[in-house]
Amino acid sequence: MAIVLLACCGVVACEQSNAARVESESGLDARAPETRLRVRVEAVRRARLASAGRVTGTVRAFHRARITAEIQGRVVARVVEPGAQLERGGVLLELEASRLSLEVRRTKAALQLSRTVLAHAEREFERGELLIAKSAISTQHRDDLRLALDRARDELALAEVARDTAERNYADCRIEAPFAGSVDSIDVNVGDFVSAGTPVATMVDLSRVRIYGGVTAREAARLTPGSKARVSFADLGGRSFEATLQSVGRVSDPADGTYEIELWMDNTNALMRDGLVARVELPNEARAQHMLAPRSALLRRDGRPQVFVVVDEAGRSVARTRILRTGRSDGNWIEVLDGLEAGDRVVYDGHFALADGSIVEIDGADAKSGLE
């Protein structure tokens, strides 16, 4: 019986061995293939950011004026309508001027009277000087003649001021453009009575524009007035233009702590409108080069910036975590102050599914712009 059992066991073992050999030969016992995640990488390089960063700005007319009446009066003519282009001194509105015209005539007549009185006082004083030399009049009489002459001169000066005031009031009946530009609005109609200080029109000069934005203290310290910046507009299909940095504020805004910058830009094609939102690429004045990595590769986990770097381990491409210390960014690239070396391949696409040690398959690399 024992011999029979041993023989049976030997047959079973032989059959199992043959079965294992057959399965091995057919590949059924091969290990399952490793899971490889497809990623895209970009090599870290040493270069200089073309831009020191981006801020949002607002376009304002180079000149904008809320025009008010200088005198009171009734509107008798709207000379122009909104949208009209005017040179400096062009007439916007006219006020009723007949009363002021009479005042000009009155003050001119009073001025002529003052000149006549002065001429008479001068002759009397000259005659008094001759008589005093002959002791024909008293010293008191001569002093009275000098006083009359001085008074006549003062009255002439007052008459000139009254005439000039009347002429200025008469001229202010024509409300004029303070600069060359376009009429944005006319706020009164013919027949309306306006007082001094009443707003009557708004004008803008958009031949050039001012662009205002806010930067951090670090950014403000790196900016130099006179440098060039690129400005783009989403509302204009993403078109970009060159602007000149005019000034950098030195007092922070109490609301958000930023420092105001002002850029000037020509509006050659008349595309700019007051209130447009601009994307300003700040000029980079620093000439030093830094290690740069794609901004899209950056992850923030546990409050720390990090990336995945692809390294070769035993013939396989493996993603390893690197903690970084970063600097400025221009939107596409970010400065890496510590954590990477030139040539390191960082994952910028497909990295959200990675963990330290994940096996990856590189799908290719894209070239990115924005470096110098």
Give the model confidence (pLDDT) of 26-53 as tens digits: 444 445 457 788 899 999 988 876 555 7
- Specify whether the CB–CB gap between 289 and 48 falls below 8 A: yes
The overall average pLDDT reported for the chain is 86
Per-residue pLDDT, averaged over 207-224, amounts to 89
Tokens of 332: 């596409």
Reported as a pLDDT band with limits 50, 70 and 90, residue 333 is confident
Q: What is the pLDDT of residue 35?
A: 79
Check pLDDT > 50 for residue 5.
no
Q: How far apart are CA 183 and CA 276, in angstroms?
A: 19
Q: How far apart are CA 341 and CA 59, in angstroms?
A: 41
Reported as a pLDDT band with limits 50, 70 and 90, residue 87 is very high
The CATH superfamily holding the domain 53-61+206-282 is: Efflux pump adaptor protein, beta barrel domain (2.40.30.170)
Architecture of the domain made up of 37-48+289-362: Beta Barrel (2.40)
Q: How far apart are CA 7 and CA 49, in angstroms?
A: 81
Q: Which CATH number fits domain 97-171: 1.10.287.110, 3.10.20.520, 1.10.287.470, 3.40.50.300?
A: 1.10.287.470
Q: What is the pLDDT of residue 66?
A: 96
Reported as a pLDDT band with limits 50, 70 and 90, residue 325 is confident
Tens of pLDDT, residues 217-264? 878 888 889 999 999 999 999 999 999 999 999 998 888 788 999 999
Q: What is the pLDDT of residue 52?
A: 58
Domain coordinates in residue numbering, the chain: 37-48+289-362, 53-61+206-282, 97-171
Check pLDDT > 90 for residue 115.
yes
